[in-house]
Amino acid sequence: MFEAAELGRTLDKEVFKKELPDLRADLLQIQQELLGCDFPVLVLISGVDGAGKGEMVNQLHEWMDPRHLETTAFDTPTDEEKERPHFWRYWRALPPKGKIGIHFSSWYSDPISSRVKGEMTDNDLEASLSRINTLEKMLVDDGVLLIKLWLHLGKKHYKDRIKSLAADPKTAWRVSQKNLDNIKVYDTFRQVAETTLQQTSTGQAPWIIVEGCDANYRSLTVGRLLRDMIRKRMDIDPKVLVSPAINWSSKSTDKTTLLDYVDLKKSLEKKEYNEQLAEHQAHLNELARKAHKNKVSVVMALEGWDAGGKGGMIRRIIHPLDARHYRVIPVAAPTDEEKARHYLWRFWRHLQRAGHMTIFDRTWYGRVLVERVEGYARDDEWIRAYQEINEFEEELTEHGIVLLKYWLHIDKEEQLARFKAREQISYKQHKITDEDYRNRERWDDYALAVADMVERTSTLHAPWYIIEGNDKKWARVRALQILCERLEKAL
Amino acid sequence: MFEAAELGRTLDKEVFKKELPDLRADLLQIQQELLGCDFPVLVLISGVDGAGKGEMVNQLHEWMDPRHLETTAFDTPTDEEKERPHFWRYWRALPPKGKIGIHFSSWYSDPISSRVKGEMTDNDLEASLSRINTLEKMLVDDGVLLIKLWLHLGKKHYKDRIKSLAADPKTAWRVSQKNLDNIKVYDTFRQVAETTLQQTSTGQAPWIIVEGCDANYRSLTVGRLLRDMIRKRMDIDPKVLVSPAINWSSKSTDKTTLLDYVDLKKSLEKKEYNEQLAEHQAHLNELARKAHKNKVSVVMALEGWDAGGKGGMIRRIIHPLDARHYRVIPVAAPTDEEKARHYLWRFWRHLQRAGHMTIFDRTWYGRVLVERVEGYARDDEWIRAYQEINEFEEELTEHGIVLLKYWLHIDKEEQLARFKAREQISYKQHKITDEDYRNRERWDDYALAVADMVERTSTLHAPWYIIEGNDKKWARVRALQILCERLEKAL
């Protein structure tokens, strides 16, 4: 794989000088056009030490408009980063539409270096790369132009480079003991890198290997690549990028869904309710304190029918909690900063530090519920969202976050009764709008969407809990009970 | 000051029960109305340990709609917080318009506890409080409803409370050794708190002291206070809030400004330029590496006439820098998340971690330049902005950030020549729009605004540098030279 990049390629200085002015003009022109485009460009820079990654990025910054180009270097994670799932810091640094982001030491650095050091087995590496493939697919599917550059050096050139850097007093500071040690493990490194590149060179986001021996050669090559790839992406009719939504077997032939089997008669007497509520709340108080102390986080995803009782349930759940340790995130229309990025970005950004509870009132499932039913998302978008969501949730649970997903279920009659009741109470009137009645008319479509959602996203680590909600008392106690059980198990 | 809050006030349980339902309905109603209002509510919670601050906040969360109420607790700063100026973490957590934010352990905690422990002198405390007053004035001037609550306990009640908490196995976990130690320093604490409250009880943001002995009393009192204060603020005609813009002596009688004294003939020969540029860039490379290593940050604020040469200057400055260690922030129209907060918020959010350089291409000075001249800001807004900006910059420099402010100056003829030249180069055409010509017509207004800006914001720690820009070569070398000098001094 690397053979072609170990030849010691150079570029004649005159050719470089001749080509550069046009290339720079092209790059500036493209950046300008990109500002009006509906996709971001994300460039990942990886490769062999000393292959000139840093110099190349510096070169790009100088050639291009640095106001629309942002490089993020990932080093040791900060404490705020460590307390969130692994990919959080990369999501945090995703460029918005119209801009170019460069990730220096990208999500490939950790797996490669861990494998080289023997901290990971081959299987660990494979699992890690498969996770990366899914993330990259998610981004590319959303329109991101992902350019993955590997700057390479053959063993001999690598050794020569490190030694010549070390010998020159002007550049000696750039050579660390780690660099010198790396010479010894070059062969292992090359082999791990080869495996990594092979497994992650996908049709949608292939690796591009550039030989790093010669500064002029690598800079001009990379500059041209960026120009041509961005240009090509701009010229593609956006419709072509949409993968056809095939193989989706609609359930519309069978009108019954799992929701029809929910026993909505479940209820609690007032006295029982009061007792059980108090008991569970007391228990939760204890568990939540322990969770905070042990830095165990909880993410609660609340979905349900309009007027299903989410608000009242949230109030009962937070009652025994310390307001400093939880946050309720209402999910409404995205802000423009959110609209400029993948739809999951706005959930990633709300993940809190270790030991905190985040309650999402409406969630990322909007993609496969309201956006599906109302046609805000294209078919291919909401269909692939199931896998994207599963992956997102796996990130959370793998990090040790206790993830709870509740569907608060009521039937159509109960909903109507609650709408009417709300209209009678002054401070609840705002909760009822024409839209609620409109959504109600599409009950069956929503029911189908809910059934599909539960079927496709109820996983071992993140199962759905359908809460019987016609009786609010039952629902609240049930929600608290599940929360306590899950927390107890996690602690 | 505290006498009235040391009486052991309680509230009859029956009264509490009777009043609560209406209060809750009112609070929910108000939150709903607030969503449509043009101001945020920020509640600071301070007070004596054990006065029920946590319980009170929990109570509010339960009574109100937790989706539009966010509590942030400030404990030991994270490493990301430590590497930014002191107030960064508070700015970071400011609520947007229409929402309520609670700051638990607010910006008062550090000064009070440091003074009690003797880590601060009285003068340190006074300086710190004066800084807080300025921050609060800035927020209130911007429309924030700032509610400062002090939950108090007299010495006897304090002792009793801590001891009774410690005695009950259910609450003993809440009592730390620190709480017990604090009993000994109660008198000192009370005295420091009294000084603090006296010095920061301003007309616009007075302290409200609530006795914390009795849970019902303090909750109902605080709930009512919030209700009444928010209601009152909503009922005020926004125009009344605008302080009249008096005492502003316009300079329009004297048409000459300091800009007329700038020697625009300064220039460099090509050869000299190349030599000096290379020399300063080499020097900067060295200094910047050292700055990164020593965690010294640089903030560069670039302002100047349209076509003044900011872009070319930025490229020469970043040439010797490592792209991982700087970021260029183009300042264009604010996003909606930015519009929902104080105008300085969008600059605070871009401050980077220690050891990085942030180059703002256009800055917070937009407030007193384009916003003043084009009338986007009211007179009272841009007039008070000078002081707000000075304060912001003092925050930066006090934290050890090297702050450079450049005004890139050219004359009217040079500007026209550059506009014409840009129109001839394909990838520069986008840089020239009708707006540029329109702005040009208001040259004199802008010149006056620039002169006022320099006069009022050139401070000892953050002086303005007027760069003679008719000759681009001169300007670039000059800018690099100043940067090197300032960095050298700081290292």
pLDDT at A450 over 90: yes
Q: How does pLDDT run across A58-72, given as a tens digit for each residue? A: 999 999 999 999 999
Partner residue opposite A80 with nearest CB, options B78, B173, B336: B78
Q: Which residues of B touch A54 (CB under 8 A)?
A: 322-324
pLDDT at B182 over 90: no
Q: Which residues of B touch A318 (CB under 8 A)?
A: 58, 61-62, 66
- Residue B252's pLDDT is 53
Lowest mean pLDDT among B154-163, B344-353, B420-429: B420-429
- Average pLDDT over every residue of B198-214: 89
Percent of chain A with pLDDT over 70: 96
Question: Which of B37, B45, B58 is best to mutate for the A interface (most A CBs within 10 A)?
Answer: B58
- pLDDT category at B176 given cuts 50, 70, 90 is confident
pLDDT at A246 over 60: no
Q: Sort A457 into a burial class: Cβ within 10 Å, 0-12 / 13-18 / 19+.
A: buried
- Residue B147's pLDDT is 96
pLDDT at B78 over 60: yes
Nearest Cα residue to A298 out of A389, A387, A360: A360
Question: Which of A67, A71, A315 is best to mutate for the B interface (most B CBs within 10 A)?
Answer: A67
pLDDT at A43 over 90: yes
- Average pLDDT over every residue of A325-330: 94
- Residue B168's pLDDT is 87
Shortest Cα–Cα distance, A388 to chain B (Å) = 26
Chain A segment 418-447 residues within 8 A of B by beta carbon are 426-428, 430
Could you tell me if A55 lies within 8 Å of chain B, comparing CB atoms? no
Partner residue opposite B62 with nearest CB, options A28, A319, A430: A319
- Residue A162's pLDDT is 87
How far is the C-alpha of A457 from the C-alpha of A445, rounded, in Å? 18
What are the start-end ranges of the E strands in A112-191? 145-152
Other beta carbons within 10 angstroms of residue B82's beta carbon come to 14
Contact A324 B32 (CB under 8 A): no
Q: How does pLDDT run across B117-126, given as a tens digit for each residue? A: 999 999 999 9
Q: Which residues of A touch B173 (CB under 8 A)?
A: 289
Contact A65 B289 (CB under 8 A): no
Could you identify the residue written with the tokens 């993330």? A135
Long-range contacts of B457-461 (CB under 8 A, 24+ apart): B457/B365, B457/B368, B457/B386, B457/B389, B457/B390, B457/B393, B457/B405, B458/B405, B459/B390, B459/B393, B459/B394, B461/B393, B461/B394, B461/B397, B461/B403
pLDDT at B173 over 90: no
- Residue A425's pLDDT is 78
Residue of B nearest to A60 (CA): B323
DSSP string covering B55-107:
HHHHHHHHHS-GGGEEEEE--SPPHHHHTS-TTHHHHHTPPPTT-EEEEES-T
Partner residue opposite B32 with nearest CB, options A325, A329, A430: A430
Q: How does pLDDT run across B319-370, given as a tens digit for each residue? A: 999 999 999 999 988 999 999 999 999 999 999 999 999 999 999 999 999 9
- Residue B257's pLDDT is 77
pLDDT at B379 over 80: yes
How far is the C-alpha of B165 from the C-alpha of B174, rounded, in Å? 7
- pLDDT category at B294 given cuts 50, 70, 90 is very high
pLDDT at A255 over 70: no
Q: Which residues of A touch B427 (CB under 8 A)?
A: 25-26, 28-29, 32
Lowest mean pLDDT among A228-242, A475-489, B24-38: A228-242
How far is the C-alpha of B304 from the C-alpha of B361, rounded, in Å? 10
Contact A57 B324 (CB under 8 A): yes
Contact B323 A80 (CB under 8 A): no
- Average pLDDT over every residue of B312-320: 94
DSSP string covering B248-281:
----TTS---GGGG--TT----HHHHHHHHHHHH
- pLDDT category at A433 given cuts 50, 70, 90 is confident
Residue of A nearest to B35 (CA): A430
Q: Which residues of A touch B430 (CB under 8 A)?
A: 32
- Residue A9's pLDDT is 83
Contact A29 B426 (CB under 8 A): yes
pLDDT at A248 over 70: no
- Average pLDDT over every residue of B449-477: 93
pLDDT at B430 over 80: no
- Residue A438's pLDDT is 87
Task: Please give the structure tokens belonging to residue A281.
Answer: 């709340």
- Residue B438's pLDDT is 87
Residue A186 half-sphere exposure, CB side, CA atoms within 13 Å? 17
Question: Which of B67, B79, B292 is best to mutate for the A interface (most A CBs within 10 A)?
Answer: B67
Contact B330 A104 (CB under 8 A): no
How far is the C-alpha of B221 from the C-alpha of B390, rounded, in Å? 38
**Contact criterion met (CB below 8 Å) for B137 and B121:** no
- Average pLDDT over every residue of A313-319: 94
Per the model's pLDDT, the better-predicted residue between A427 and B481 turns out to be: B481
pLDDT at A362 over 90: yes
- Residue A238's pLDDT is 66
What separation in angstroms does the CA of A312 have from each of A287, A309, A361, A472, B22? Answer: 21, 6, 11, 8, 17
pTM score, two decimals?
0.88
Question: Which of B427, B428, B429 is best to mutate for the A interface (most A CBs within 10 A)?
Answer: B427
- Residue B189's pLDDT is 93
Could you tell me if A70 lies within 8 Å of chain B, comparing CB atoms? yes
Chain B segment 373-402 residues within 8 A of A by beta carbon are none
Other beta carbons within 10 angstroms of residue A274's beta carbon come to 13
Residue of A nearest to B104 (CA): A324
- Residue B175's pLDDT is 83
Nearest Cα residue to A35 out of A74, A7, A77, A68: A68
Give the single-character DSSP code of B366.
Answer: G
Q: Which residues of B touch A25 (CB under 8 A)?
A: 426-427
Could you tell me if A411 lies within 8 Å of chain B, comparing CB atoms? no
Shortest Cα–Cα distance, A29 to chain B (Å) = 5
- pLDDT category at A4 given cuts 50, 70, 90 is confident
Q: How does pLDDT run across B226-270, given as a tens digit for each residue? A: 999 999 999 886 666 655 554 455 555 566 778 888 999 999 999
How many H-runs (helices) and E-runs (strands) does chain B carry? 21, 10
Contact B66 A324 (CB under 8 A): no
Could you tell me if A315 lies within 8 Å of chain B, comparing CB atoms? yes
**Contact criterion met (CB below 8 Å) for B474 and B308:** no
- Residue B313's pLDDT is 95
- Residue A254's pLDDT is 63
Contact A173 B314 (CB under 8 A): no
- pLDDT category at B3 given cuts 50, 70, 90 is confident
- pLDDT category at A75 given cuts 50, 70, 90 is confident
Beta pairing partners, A194: none
Beta pairing partners, B73: B104
Q: How does pLDDT run across A110-147, given as a tens digit for each residue? A: 999 999 999 999 999 999 999 999 999 999 999 999 99
Question: Which of B70, B222, B322 is best to mutate for the A interface (most A CBs within 10 A)?
Answer: B322
Q: How does pLDDT run across A167-195, given as a tens digit for each residue? A: 888 778 778 888 888 888 999 999 999 99
Long-range contacts of B154-161 (CB under 8 A, 24+ apart): B154/B2, B154/B5, B154/B6, B154/B7, B154/B8, B155/B6, B155/B186, B155/B187, B155/B190, B157/B6, B157/B8, B157/B213, B158/B48, B158/B49, B158/B50, B158/B51, B158/B183, B158/B186, B159/B183, B159/B186, B161/B50, B161/B51, B161/B213
